[in-house]
Amino acid sequence: MSDNIFSKIPEINHSEVMKDVDDQMFDNIVHNRRSVRAYTDEKVPSFVVEKVLDWALLAPNSSNLQCWEFYWVKHPVKKARLIEALFHQPAAKTAQELIVAVAKLDNWKNHSKQMLENFDAQTEKVPTSVRDYYQKLVPVVYNQGPFGIFGPFKRIFMAIAGLFRPIPREPKSIADMRVWAHKSTALACQNIMMGFSAYGYDSCPMEGYDSSRVKQILELGSESEICMVISAGKRAKNGVYGPRIRFPKNQFVKIL
């Protein structure tokens, strides 16, 4: 773990034009977004779905390894099978559009190489520490070995090294890699749902599905996991099941 990578600010000369923002408009988008479980027949224009997917891909994600995929299921037969795998829940069966968000446990291998290729292609200079991160650290840190066999060794090393100084503890198992991939995918999912709200459409995130069947429909292997299914449309009169319930803020927000 080089000091360079984590503790020094590299020489950078990159600036971006900031666009106008509006916190009140964001507040409205947050407030309009409710989980909608029954939709009307009104279609969602394709450009809206395309745009929310663009926004999904602009979400922050772990080491920019983009460990996600999004399946927009339009084909009537596949859609019917997907609705069945979602137990025919109203949020799915009345939906105009269904997007399956998939967490990828394995694409970090190719994506770390693709990051290096992108660095090579760009005109702005990439700090050595950043390049080293993808070339040297990523291949070691994320690799758990076949069936996670490196895990116990990582655990022992961390337990000992961690006595003396702060060290990264994760990912040290396949379970950690699952958490890792789902976390970034969920960040993107929130952009999808907020994106629909920004266009005046509704959405519902669903975790109640037969993941084995959803994976069959999408023809996914063992390194892909269903993160959630997001439905979209316009809310029906009975689409929101009741007033929003949140427990008091002081149960969740702690100031230290």
Q: Which of residues 174-233 bind a second copy (CB under 8 A)?
A: 175, 178-180, 182-184, 186-187, 189-191, 193-195, 197-200, 204-205, 207-213, 217-218, 225, 227-228
- By CB under 8 A, what part of segment 98-127 binds a second copy? 111, 114-115, 118, 122, 124, 126-127
Give pairs for 133-142: CB < 8 Å, separation 24+.
133/5, 133/63, 134/63, 137/1, 137/5, 138/63, 138/65, 138/108, 138/112, 139/109, 139/112, 141/168, 141/171, 142/65, 142/108, 142/109, 142/171, 142/177, 142/180
- Does residue 38 bind a second copy (CB under 8 A)? yes
Q: What is the largest CA-CA distance in the chain?
A: 62
Minimum distance from residue 153 beta carbon to a second copy (Å): 18
Query: Rounded distance, CA 8 to CA 138, Å?
Result: 19
Give 169's contacts (C-beta < 8 A, 6+ positions apart): 158, 162
Minimum distance from residue 19 beta carbon to a second copy (Å): 4
Cβ-based nearer residue to a second copy, 96 or 184: 184
Cβ-based nearer residue to a second copy, 59 or 106: 59
Cβ-based nearer residue to a second copy, 145 or 207: 207
- Does residue 88 bind a second copy (CB under 8 A)? yes
243: helix, strand or coil: coil
Q: Which of 41, 120, 221, 253 binds a second copy (CB under 8 A)?
A: 253
Q: Which of 60, 120, 140, 221 binds a second copy (CB under 8 A)?
A: 60
Query: Rounded distance, CA 173 to CA 65, Å?
Result: 18
- Does residue 15 bind a second copy (CB under 8 A)? yes
- Does residue 160 bind a second copy (CB under 8 A)? no
Q: What is the total count of residues that contact a second copy (CB under 8 A)? A: 126
- Does residue 75 bind a second copy (CB under 8 A)? yes
Cβ-based nearer residue to a second copy, 31 or 109: 31
Q: Which of 90, 96, 112, 231 binds a second copy (CB under 8 A)?
A: 90
- Does residue 44 bind a second copy (CB under 8 A)? no
Minimum distance from residue 168 beta carbon to a second copy (Å): 6
Minimum distance from residue 107 beta carbon to a second copy (Å): 9
- Does residue 145 bind a second copy (CB under 8 A)? no
Query: Rounded distance, CA 129 to CA 133, Å?
Result: 6
- Does residue 140 bind a second copy (CB under 8 A)? no
- Does residue 32 bind a second copy (CB under 8 A)? yes
Closest CA to 31 of 227, 177, 194, 179: 194
Structure-token match 């895990």, residue found = 151
38: helix, strand or coil: coil
- Provide the b/e sequence for 230-240 (b: ≥16 CB within 10 Å): bbbbbbbeebb
Check: CB of residue 224 under 8 Å from CB of residue 67: no
